[in-house]
Amino acid sequence: MHNVIITSHIASASPQAVKKLREDVAHAAARRIRGEPLVNGVR
């Protein structure tokens, strides 16, 4: 699309937010590996 601009959003880039993001991703990956459904899955 020629009329769309995509920019980064760094408002939540505090050390605490990055730590939580990493933990959330690790937990989601672990759930998937165990065959459990993802908590925030989107279809």
| 26 domain-assigned | yes
The CB-side HSE value for 22 (13 A sphere, CA atoms) comes to 7
d(CA 21, CA 27): 10
- Structural domains counted in the chain: 1
pLDDT tens readout for residues 14-31: 888 889 888 998 999 999
Give the range of the structural domain holding residue 29, as residue numbers without chain letter.
10-36
**Mean pLDDT score, 21-43:** 88
| 28 domain-assigned | yes
Are the C-beta atoms of residues 37 and 31 closer than 8 Å to each other? yes
| 5 domain-assigned | no
| 16 domain-assigned | yes
| 29 domain-assigned | yes
Are the C-beta atoms of residues 13 and 24 closer than 8 Å to each other? no
Average pLDDT, the chain: 83
| 2 domain-assigned | no
